[in-house]
Structure 1
Amino acid sequence: IADLTKPPSPLQTIITRFHLIITRADLSTLAGDNRLNDQIINFYLNLLVERNATDPHLPRLYAMNTFFVPKLLSSGHAALRRWTRKVDLFAHDLILVPVHIAGLDHWCMAIVDLGQHTIRYYDSLGGGRPNHQVMDALERYLREESLDKRGKPLERPDYEKRHMRECPRQEYSNDCGVFSCAFAEHEARKVAVKGFGQAQMAYFRRKMVYEISKGRLLT
């Protein structure tokens, strides 16, 4: 695993899937206490989607990429219509939405639970205030997406918005991306988002290096 995250060839392609190219430099963001980049987070979320698609006992997933929320906040649904032109979001159970807080250079994870009409927001820093801006924008997006793609309003237009205050917390500033991926992975298996913390981050990082380089999840 260590060989995959080190020079001498940072631009060497390790794997290409999901229209994403993962290089040695990308994998190096999983080494030590580096901060994860967009490529790693997007690839990992696609692995979750792929795993769940082959197991009828797991929720049907759709993953937004890391550029979705910035575009949504800056330009609204109209700028994103083409992103889902071949996708029925409402045929899924959960939508995984990575959230980057630019001012803090910090990753969070939002989970849109279409069955429970709930948006759950995970922030490994805890966060004293819920991120109403993102959760409200996601709710508006769902309303407009339903009207645009299905020609009808949401069955329940008002989603419950939950800031998951009791989620595991990070202790080191650069582990937010790993925590966010772990939140998504637990949600994808419909298991409680607990039982891990800072002590498990080195293991999660090594595991993600292996899974991404092999193009499949271990579990």
Structure 2
Amino acid sequence: MERKARDYAMKLMRPFTAEEQTVVDDALKDGPPEEILAKQGADSVQRSSMQTLCPGQWLNDEVINYFLKICLVRRDKKMCTTDTGRRRSHFFSSFFIQKMFDEKSEDPELRGRYNFDNVKEWSKKVPGGDIFNLKYIVCPINIDDNSHWTSAVIFMEDKRIQYYDSMGGTDWSKLEGLLKYVKDEYSAKNGKELDVTEWELVSCTSDTPRQKNGYDCGVFTCMFADFISKDCQLLFNQDHIDQCRQRIALSIMNYCAIDDSDSQAAFATATLSNTLAAQAAVATSNNTLALALEDGNTSREAIRYWQYYQRRRRMASSL
């Protein structure tokens, strides 16, 4: 089991294809700061935010929340479709913890205190509307208004809440608050008390990957969510972080987190239009390529990618 987890982790850190690298380079290059490179519903990523994925930059909440809420959610859906016995996971935005602890309250006596009323409606948006049917609940945490990024993960099946901090710290108030949240959710759903003695709170462990600078915490936070939600060991370290930054960028441009199987399947890369990113998808069920382009994008670049994958499909079928 441990070897399988290590193999999965290594596949997640696979090298990019030339086409994927082109997508990443285009996404990170200079351009109009307000240009929207990725958009899904009310969530979007502007070029200025995407450029925080360049080496040495502090990730902002737009990138982190989009990666978790859109990219990891889509991969999670795909995994649960493939494995029908697998429970869905949920990825809260960074505003969940902020609201739970009233961190923006104008009243200093309320600021920082747990407040279930602020988040009691949030569970309606989790898959199935019930947190007790989930596998993982990932909660990114923005500490002291952009001084540091950490995260906490609720392992619903294991009845464990664990803290992940690339600086090695643990905010016990957040762990205790999340346990209160689970308890309050249980009471709201079932009308009775949850036996919290069955639950375990775990501080940041010594083997949690560590950053060696003052700006990579957001990348580590994304990777914690990425690897844990894929059931992988946290085998990355500071030496991998620039690659992880590009991994996040590619995931955003493809509207889905990279999967360990992507290196073995035809991988449709996204291209940029002047206003929105074009979204590509591979229809593997009938060996055809479906290229979904937003806003009627028919650029030469998009057509070139379509032709490239058609050639690959024909070559594969001739083997």
Instruction: Give the structure-2-normalised TM-score.
Output: 0.64
**Contact residue 44 and residue 212 of structure 1 kept, 8 A:** yes
Deviates more, 1:38-47 or 1:112-121: 38-47
Aligned residue number for residue 108 of structure 1: 150
Deviates more, 1:144-153 or 1:65-74: 144-153
Aligned residue number for residue 179 of structure 1: 220
Aligned residue number for residue 183 of structure 2: 143
Q: State the 1:3 CA deviation.
A: 2.9
- Aligned-residue Cα RMSD (Å) equals 1.8
**Contact residue 93 and residue 115 of structure 1 kept, 8 A:** yes
2:236 matched to 1:196? yes
Aligned residue number for residue 27 of structure 2: 4
Unpaired runs of 5+ residues, structure 2, are 1-23, 103-113, 260-319
**Contact residue 94 and residue 141 of structure 2 kept, 8 A:** yes
Secondary structure, counterpart of 2:32 in structure 1: coil
2:255 matched to 1:215? yes
2:174 matched to 1:134? yes
Change (3 A) 1:208 1:103: closer
Structure 1 stretches of 4+ moved >4 Å: 155-158
Secondary structure, counterpart of 1:54 in structure 2: helix
Aligned residue number for residue 122 of structure 1: 164
2:79 matched to 1:37? no
Pairing of 1:16-27 with structure 2 (within 5 A): 16-27=39-50
**Contact residue 68 and residue 91 of structure 2 kept, 8 A:** yes
**Contact residue 183 and residue 196 of structure 2 kept, 8 A:** no
* Structure with greater strand share of residues: 1
Q: State the 1:151 CA deviation.
A: 2.6
Q: State the 1:103 CA deviation.
A: 6.3
Match among 145, 169, 175 for residue 210 of structure 2:
169
Q: State the 1:18 CA deviation.
A: 4.8
**Matches of 1:149 and 1:12 in 2, distance apart?**
43
Aligned residue number for residue 91 of structure 1: 133
**Matches of 2:228 and 2:100 in 1, distance apart?**
23
Q: State the 1:178 CA deviation.
A: 0.5
Structure 2 counterpart of 1:35, one-letter code = W
**Matches of 1:210 and 1:49 in 2, distance apart?**
15
Q: State the 1:73 CA deviation.
A: 1.3
Q: State the 1:4 CA deviation.
A: 1.6
Aligned residue number for residue 70 of structure 1: 98
**Matches of 2:190 and 2:68 in 1, distance apart?**
26
Count of residues in Structure 1 that have an aligned counterpart in Structure 2: 216
Secondary structure, counterpart of 1:120 in structure 2: strand
**Contact residue 74 and residue 257 of structure 2 kept, 8 A:** no
**Matches of 2:225 and 2:119 in 1, distance apart?**
22
Unpaired runs of 5+ residues, structure 1, are none
* Per-residue Cα deviation, 1:27-61 (whole angstroms, up to 9, x for no partner): 11111211111111111112212211221345521
Secondary structure, counterpart of 1:55 in structure 2: helix
2:89 matched to 1:48? no
**Contact residue 52 and residue 59 of structure 1 kept, 8 A:** no
**Contact residue 87 and residue 133 of structure 2 kept, 8 A:** no
Secondary structure, counterpart of 1:100 in structure 2: strand
Deviates more, 1:171-180 or 1:94-103: 94-103
